[in-house]
Structure 1
Amino acid sequence: MIGLALKLLRDELSHYVFQNKRPTDSITEDDIILHNIALMESEGQDLNNKIVITLVNTEEESTLKNGRHTSKTISGVRYIEPPVFLNLYILISATLGQDLQDAYEFALHRLSLVIQFFQAKKTFSVKNSPFTTISSDNNIPQEIKDELRLNIELYTLTFEQINHLWGSLGGKQVPFSMYKVRLVKIHENTSDEAPLIEEIERTENSN
């Protein structure tokens, strides 16, 4: 589900950036990618001149932690662990083109488009995202598609947090923004079923 959530955002963002890029900008929809930005300077990795979406942290949504463990069925009671609702912290980086004279300016403009896109649209589902390929993927169950509902908000870091973040990623800082993606639902479709208790027997101890 985490991969699908980020793919949904990538598909929609890719279309928006490509449609609103500058005429002289050579970026394509395939240049908005899901990748680990920490590998930007690794040999064999070409992450230059792209918009890179990286998952940097996950946390459980504590307000939804205590869900119901049982549900009634025709034959008894079904016991199931409640789903985990996650908040995802994603880093969106506009990397620089090595051969472009105005690489930094292009990166800043692309980052502006990213912020502009998420400012205009904060809630995502498969139904309200016409440019994602998830909707036409028959390998994904319809139930999963219906459950995919994301709320996006800009997450501001302090200078100390920024320094620690890029230090842990091991790369040079590029123009970026961070977003908190709320309520990614994770659950396993397994459960135990027990019959209803219809009668209680009492036994008396004789001394």
Structure 2
Amino acid sequence: MIGSALKLLRDELSTYVISNKRPDDTTIENKDIILHNISLMEGESQGELSNKIVITLVNTEEESTLKNGSHILRTLNGVKYVEPPVFLNLYILISATLGQETDAYELALQRLSLVIQFFQAKKSFTIKNSPFSSIASDTNISQEDKDEVRLNVELYTLTFEQINHLWGSLGGKQVPFAMYKIRLVKIDEKTSIVAPVIEEIENRESQIN
């Protein structure tokens, strides 16, 4: 579901950016808003990541307030013992990388502004309110999982020390970026142990007497 959640955001963001880009910004298309590891920017993938809007997952965090769910699910045939789902918060880095244009930095800032505008106007995402996402037609995802997709996106502000550490750990030169926190991505393995309904209780103590 992590990949599906990020694909949903990418598809919606791509449509917005392309629809609202500067008229003279002819160097970016839908395919240029990508999910990729920005740390590869200084390596062999530099050409592949140049002049793009790159979405990178940099951290995952369990939502502690939803950690202690029930292990018992009651059914008509008894009860099922299941592990409660894990709810994750995802931290994504959205980077506007530079191209070869003379105003490349200005273009990157303008694209980053569009990213921030998009998430300012739309903070909650589901399959139903995301018409441009390809996830709705993905047959590899069950309808139940699609119905449960609910992502809440908020801008996450880093300190200068955290920014320095982040880009240092990524091993690349800093480009215009914004960090976002996505709540809540549900991870649920559909396995369980079935136990029958208890229909009779035997009192061994009364039998001994």
Pairwise TM-score range, normalised by the shorter structure: over 0.9
- CA displacement at 1:113 relative to structure 2: 0.3
Tell me how far 1:199 sits from its aligned partner. Answer: 2.3
Paired residue for 1:145? Answer: 146
> Could you say which residue in structure 1 is the equivalent of 2:6?
6
Task: Return the structure number with greater helix share.
Answer: 2
Q: How many Å separate the matches in 2 of 1:8 and 1:44?
A: 24
DSSP-derived class of the 2:49 partner: coil
Question: What does residue range 163-182 of structure 1 map to in structure 2 within 5 Å?
Answer: 163-182=164-183
User: SS at the partner of 2:200?
Assistant: coil
Give runs of aligned pairs for residues 37-48 of structure 1, distance below 5 A. 37-45=38-46, 46-48=48-50
1:160 partner letter: E
Which stretch has the larger CA shift, 151-160 or 38-47? 38-47
Q: CA deviation digits over 1:1-27, x for unaligned, max 9?
A: 000000000000000000111111121
Identity %: 76
- The CA deviation at 1:200 is 2.1
Counterpart of 2:94 in structure 1 is: 92
Corresponding residue number in structure 2 for 1:103: 104
Amino acid at match of 1:121: K
Flag structure 2 segments of 5+ consecutive residues without an equivalent: none
Equivalence for 2:83: 81
Question: Once the 2 structures are TM-superposed, how far is the Cα of residue 41 of structure 1 from its aligned partner?
Answer: 1.1
1:71 to 49, 73, 77: 73
**Which amino acid letter does the alignment assign opposite residue 135 of structure 2?**
I
Q: Which moved more, 1:178-187 or 1:191-200?
A: 191-200
**How many residues are aligned here?**
206
Letter in 1 for 2:37: N
Aligned to 2:135: 134
Q: CA deviation at 1:203?
A: 2.2
Q: Look up the match of 1:198.
A: 199
- Farther off after superposition, 64-73 or 109-118: 64-73
What is the deviation of 1:201? 1.8
SS at match of 1:53: strand
Rate the CA distance shift 1:175–1:44 in 2: closer, same or farther, 3 A: closer
Give the Å deviation of 1:119: 0.1
1:33 is aligned to 2:34:
yes
> d(CA) in 1 for partners of 2:151 and 2:145?
13
- Deviation by residue 1:123-158 (Cα, 9 ceiling, x = unmatched): 001100011111122332111111111000000000
The one-letter code sitting in structure 1 at the alignment partner of 2:124 is T
Stretches of structure 1 lacking an aligned partner (at least 5 in a row): none
* SS of equivalent residue, structure 1 residue 40: helix
Counterpart residue type for residue 11 of structure 1: D
Q: Cα distance, 1:196 vs. partner?
A: 1.7
CA-to-partner distance for each residue in 1:164-198, whole Å, 9 max, x for gaps? 00000000000000000001000100001111222
